[in-house]
Amino acid sequence: MENAVASFGLWDRIMILGCYVSIGLAVLIFLYHEYKILQIKDYKEKYDYVNLNEIKYFWYVVVMLILAALFYTNTIASDVIETRMMWFYVRLFVTLSFSVIAYFVFFSMVRIYYPRNVEKRLQKLRNTPRISPNGNVMRKLSGEEEATHLDAAQLSENPTDVHSIDYDIWIDDKTGYKKIEKYNAYQHAIECSECGFVTMKLDVEEIEKKPSQQETGLLLQHYQCSYCKHREAKEVVIAMLSENS
């Protein structure tokens, strides 16, 4: 009997330790991700890093917290279980079952709900005023102004017959310094009109009418939602080509 009590005491200490370690790892993962973002000075580089890693690291934190809950729940009612070994296995089975359920539930929630928060952060990074090497606040050009600042190769990419490239152009009006940032449209998620989640991405696009120096063109973009599989198409006007393109 004393051996059983000692064994349960050791088990509880191990589970509590596992709980603390899991919570500690969750905090460290979160802090590491935020530290990496703080270390990146360029907003475009911040955007790319967040776009590629934010959801991944957030999911790692969630997994660590699920493990912490699993470890902690395996210490509940140990004083009762000490007298009946069968309840030890029942508790282990129940906690493992709930952990698996929690894994899939939170996986779906992270995939469906969290992208909205990521998109807000991405838009903030994309629209934060840039600072020129001279220390001046730069101005983001409108779509109509962009064409005069892109060369022929860039204009041919915006858009292509596979996936359009989106350019943000920032200019220092005092010195004329220009910064061009390139974004891949297919990496950007938007809100699905069917389910309302930010899980719709550009799948395929095709040029219905090519632009010329006299007329605008027309681009048809096909979107698909990764959650409800809803598909829809949007028409986008392509600006006229400039004379140097």
The residue extents of the domains of the chain are 2-127, 139-238
Place of tokens 């220009």: 178
Degrees, nearest 5: CA angle 184-190-152: 25
Question: If you average pLDDT over residues 69-90, what whole number do you get?
Answer: 82
DSSP state, residue 218: E
Of the listed ranges 157-161, 180-184, 239-243, the one predicted with least confidence: 157-161
Question: How many CA within 13 A on the CB side of residue 95?
Answer: 19
- Spatial strand order of the sheet with 178-184 comes to 139-140, 165-171, 178-184
pLDDT at 29: 97
User: Which residue type does 230 have?
Assistant: H
Maximum pairwise Cα distance, the chain? 92
| pLDDT score of 157 more than 80 | no
In percent, the amount of the chain with pLDDT more than 70 equals 82
Q: What is the dihedral of CA 7, 12, 13, 19, to 10 degrees?
A: 150
**Rounded distance, CA 54 to CA 56, Å?**
5
Whole-model pTM above 0.85?
no
DSSP state, residue 135: S
Average pLDDT, the chain: 82
| pLDDT score of 160 more than 70 | no
**Rounded distance, CA 199 to CA 192, Å?**
6
State the angle between helix axes of 43-73 and 85-127 in degrees (0 to 180), rounded to the nearest 10: 170
pLDDT at 113: 83
